Amino acid sequence: MKSMKAMKKVTLLLITLLVLPPAALSAQNTQNSKSVSTEIQGIVPVIFTLSTDMTDVETIDLVNSTSAYLGKVVVYTNIKALWTIVISSSNGGKLIGKTAGNHDVYPYLLGFGSIDRINLSNEFSMTYNTLLPKTSVEYPVRVSYAKLEDLDDPVVSDIYSDIVTITVTIS
């Protein structure tokens, strides 16, 4: 009789296990399990640099030469962008004597990148569209001028200078 009761209990247990939904069984197993999740993010900011190997003062030979390489301007950005490059001159594209009372001027033309003979009597502007991110472009900068003995209007002995500003904007 004991074996009959034992068989009934086993049968009842098997029926109960078959009838209970799986969620009821797994709920007991997951009560001792916990988990957390996290999203990992890294932020890459817009990088935009403008550098040059030119010095604050570039001295050119007005007596023996008709041109001079001043250096290069390097523009780098990690985004697709439209660059606007503006070049301006403090003296309208002319070297002006530094001595008080000297009104002589020494004309020159600027070369920037592949563009030669830029007259800076007015601000010069150009655009460059980067189609690929991580773009770095080098622009050589040069000046051309007449030798002192070839000037149409002779100038007196003095230090002649101009300040050229190159501004790059990305958008």
* Chain segment 111-125, per-residue pLDDT in tens: 999 999 999 999 999
Q: What local confidence, expressed as pLDDT, does residue 42 receive? A: 97
Structure tokens at 138: 């080098």
Location of structure tokens 């997951």: 30
Distance CA 125, CA 84 (A): 7
pLDDT above 60 for 24 = no
Instruction: Provide mean pLDDT across the span 15-35.
Output: 63
Distance CA 16, CA 32 (A): 23
pLDDT tens-digit map of 54-82: 999 999 999 999 999 999 999 999 999 89
Buried-state track 127-154, b at ≥16 Cβ within 10 A, e below 16:
ebebeeeebeeebebbbebeeeeeeeee
CATH of domain 48-170: 2.60.40
pTM confidence score: 0.77
pLDDT above 90 for 27 = no
Instruction: Provide mean pLDDT across the span 5-9.
Output: 56
